[in-house]
Structure 1
């Protein structure tokens, strides 16, 4: 499957779900209970969130390859950003347990809050996607020597050892993840965002035992660096 076909396929999946559910509501509106309507509406909402996530990733990747992403640095509270992302992503899967340990973070950091939030959403949504809903996801953040390390650790399917060297290449998907939804663009985009900040992205994983992704970002970045995907 070529890259364009892959993207089209990934976009069609949530669109098909939205279409089918909406038609079901129209045809059976007078036969459905309030509970049934709410359940179908929630499924439509989740599919629309997935579609929005895919669209934003594809658009951001296109801007990155064209050199169109630049930092818009400002002061922001990283603790609040991390908590908000966890709250919003967790709201999409209320049964999911997410444990937060945020210690010693500065009151303010300087960077592009919108881009860093996008990178964290990518990493956390991957952890949720590739691990069973009953498995805990742990997020820790620490400051060390002017750098902040945000670690997202899951207990999911993990990454095959032979796939690890390629996992951040655009469009690459691990052998054990190909049946799950995804474009293979997320991690490369998150890496790109962190590199622009003068940081990095590190991945440790074991098949069947989970994955640990470490986002490294400096406390202060006002200019950004030039990187290409």
Structure 2
């Protein structure tokens, strides 16, 4: 646990000054003071952002100055300086060790944070698929006495599809763990974005998780090369986010699919409360939830996960908002070369 950086720096400079006073009160050949400068350099580890090289440079200057403060009558100047240069080299070795240790601590903290976020994202996406399973199971139980064989088969297929999504996520996590880099591999296949979104909206309507949604797309296929499971999760996150934050306004969500500069552009717009200008730069950060999220569930991972998927597909994510009038999320994905 780090203490106040200001307090630590005050202690370090006090130690440097005290050691220098001790140095000039003793004979120059007594280099114990020069080695003592390693103490404040070690203390810099307790700073939030250690500055060991600054303290080592200061210690070096004070060590050299101390050799001339009180001339020695026993050793030649060259011998005094040689002993002090050995002590100075020790100071810089200590500074390097402090810097290396600090980098190790930062790397460990970043790795721990990355793993925490990864688990949170994984839980978020599995939870989304489980919602489909529980919703369909509830409908089956409610309609058990009057459900037709065809409807039963359709709902069973949806449950199986959601279960397969969970299985796919877990499988990729296991594969990523075997690679050791914590990334989820992306499978590449030709996907018609219009067809994908049409199926998604039908599923959301069936699960009663989507409000009024208007889909506008040309009759031509809008084909990209990507991972169908990840892209479905991407669009599901954005659509449900739009529904969540515009539900109280009773306004439909608009989805437009078109070709734009060699990309397939999907623009999802709502007419909700929008995002405050000061919050817009932060909405992509993990775990960040804006002021308009009060009263709504969520972990603040939706857009963070969306952006990671877009980046994995070499795409681009844009967010346009008019505070008080709505938000427009634009997703550009490279169009398939064979389209």
> What TM-score do you get using the length of structure 1 for normalisation?
0.66
Q: Structure 2 stretches of 5 or more lacking a match?
A: 1-115, 132-140, 144-162
> What TM-score do you get using the length of structure 2 for normalisation?
0.46
CA distance in 2, matches of 1:124, 1:95: 8
Partner of 2:324: 208
**TM-aligned CA distance change 1:68 to 1:97, over 3 Å:** same
CA distance in 1, matches of 2:207, 2:323: 26
Listed one character per residue, the Cα deviations across residues 117-159 of structure 1 (whole Å, up to 9, x for unaligned) are 1100000000111112621110001012320110111111211
Matches within 5 A, 1:110-189: 110-132=225-247, 134-189=250-305
User: Is the contact made by 2:191 and 2:224 (CA closer than 8 Å) also made in structure 1?
Assistant: yes
Partner of 1:199: 315
**TM-aligned CA distance change 1:94 to 1:177, over 3 Å:** closer
Partner of 1:93: 208
Q: Who wins on radius of gyration, i.e. which is larger?
A: 2
Matches within 5 A, 1:23-102: 38=142, 67-93=182-208, 96-102=211-217
The CA RMSD over aligned residues, in Å, is 3.6
**TM-aligned CA distance change 1:92 to 1:130, over 3 Å:** farther
**TM-aligned CA distance change 1:194 to 1:91, over 3 Å:** same
User: Is the contact made by 1:150 and 1:216 (CA closer than 8 Å) also made in structure 2?
Assistant: yes
User: Is the contact made by 1:105 and 1:141 (CA closer than 8 Å) also made in structure 2?
Assistant: no
Q: Structure 1 stretches of 5 or more lacking a match?
A: 19-36, 40-51, 222-229
Please report how far the alpha carbon of residue 203 of structure 1 lies from its aligned counterpart in structure 2 after TM superposition. 0.6
CA distance in 1, matches of 2:201, 2:316: 21
SS at match of 1:214: strand
**TM-aligned CA distance change 1:104 to 1:38, over 3 Å:** closer
Total equivalences in the alignment:
178
RCO higher in 1 or 2 (8 Å CA, sep ≥ 6)? 1
CA distance in 1, matches of 2:318, 2:326: 14
